[in-house]
Chains A and B, each alone.
Chain A
């Protein structure tokens, strides 16, 4: 069952086309990544999904509701964590959680939520003194306090140190384990690979590919690469004849083989049959970065400057 369906979404700001044509389907219970460089149209897309902006064209359905016309009912069931959403500096953590809990029909107990998110000892701390990681946890708490069926998290870990990032990822996994569907907007390939069940790669307001991170990396990321120094002489044909091998390149005394993930085992076994061992074996698989490059013709981080968010 789809929690979010987006078809042919288009959104412009004046002459600026933020979202050109986007289709998405987010299934119940998954962590779905919307991945792309800054300015690709990710935030605009989720703002339309969350009912914060009206699309210029296209159809959106979230939990069976149209966000543009039914935003009140939508906001009961969808928790949103936006970029740059701060709180009044002197508002205390506990006050914020209790206040927001009061906005929802069936809210989570603020104390318990604070405990889950490791905020109990910061209950009386004003927002101003919180660390970046703690602020993010408050932000997640406010997105979850209404017991949403869908949580939209936009650039959740940007600006966090690696430890706080890992911690936040753990929280998102536990959210999913509790049955909350998560839409995660990120420009971090690592985060998407780590957390997401499926991702949509977005560039210039379009979805360039969608699928599980492993599949995208494999299908578009150039496959699995291995490189080794054979301990004996072999013909290329021994390896190129294997169905899982795509390409064999010689580089001095080393061989570089590209192919499917199974190629690694196939090559090692084929070498073994002729009594040769692959010395100094190195294996690398395709990455989402490689996939992005192959799909768009430009590197992920080159696309970072300019453009609408």
Chain B
């Protein structure tokens, strides 16, 4: 058996695994509904509320809708990272799927890889839809494209690695769903889902800047205003991502 044959076989196996995980994500559409559907529906609703077209005080001229687009992007990443990614992984571990896979020539880490790809793909679709529909509804898009891309990558890294920590620590699928949701709500709050950052009380605004989601929304919002994200917001996200990744790698168990 040549090395290239093995590589081709592995590539084929990973493609199959990816197809299966994508089909399962479609059949058990929790992530699809909350991570893609919800933010897209929220853009539609917000875009049709006339009060959301008014300028948000303290936002440097952004309308409420403009300010909400980065928040909804954050909701996409948080939902997929904290629920979409860890719940299937914890389910598979609980059911013994990963254990069974470890008896085959394919390592169970491939399932993790496939889940990452599937959730990243859903995130890409959802972010595109949120921004595209926001634009169609008259919202201002990030004009600092490079800054936005960087903020998006770091925000994804932060929330997905946090999700891997959830998958690592939760012993059951139920626990993973509970922990993921329990993290989602405060994080979405600090990210400004209920109260956009510009209208948060000063103390809250400051605290928010040190949370993964608050920093993510801050960074993305500056790119809507046309400037590069603040170093502080990028460092906060990068720092969390490194810490979460280390914790996840140290604590993750395949069985």
What is the interface of chain A, defined by CB distance below 8 A to chain B?
50, 52, 72, 75-76, 78-80, 82, 84-88, 90-91, 95, 98-100, 102-105, 142-143, 146
Contact = CB atoms under 8 A, between A and B. Distances in A.
Contacts of B13: 102-103
A76 B103 CA distance: 9
Contacts of B105: 72, 75-76, 103-105, 146
A90 B28 contact: yes
Interface of B: 1, 9, 12-13, 16-17, 20, 23-24, 27-28, 88, 91-92, 95-97, 99-100, 102-106
B106 A103 contact: yes
B102 A52 contact: yes
Nearest to A92: B23
A267 to B, nearest CB: 52
Contacts of A87: 95, 97, 100
Contact of A102 (B16, B95, B97, B100): B16
A88 B106 contact: no
A95 B97 contact: no
A76 B106 CA distance: 9
Contact of B100 (A72, A98, A142): A142
Contact of B99 (A85, A90, A142): A85
A64 B69 CA distance: 61
B106 A95 contact: no
5 contacts: A82-B96, A85-B97, A103-B105, A105-B1, A146-B105
A88 B88 CA distance: 9
A98 B103 contact: no
A79 B101 CA distance: 11
Contacts of B102: 52
Given A80-B103, A95-B23, A99-B17, A86 B12 contact: no
Contacts of B28: 90
A102 B24 contact: no
Given A50-B103, A75-B105, A85 B96 contact: yes
A102 B96 contact: no
A103 B16 CA distance: 9
A146 B95 CA distance: 22
Contact of A100 (B24, B91, B104): B104
| Residue of A79, A80, A88 with most partner-chain B CB within 10 A | A88
A146 B13 CA distance: 13
B104 A90 contact: no
A173 to B, nearest CB: 23
Contacts of A103: 13, 104-106
A105 B9 contact: yes
Contacts of A88: 24, 88, 91-92, 95, 97
B9 A84 contact: no
Contacts of A79: 103
Contacts of A142: 100
A82 B91 contact: no
B12 A102 contact: yes
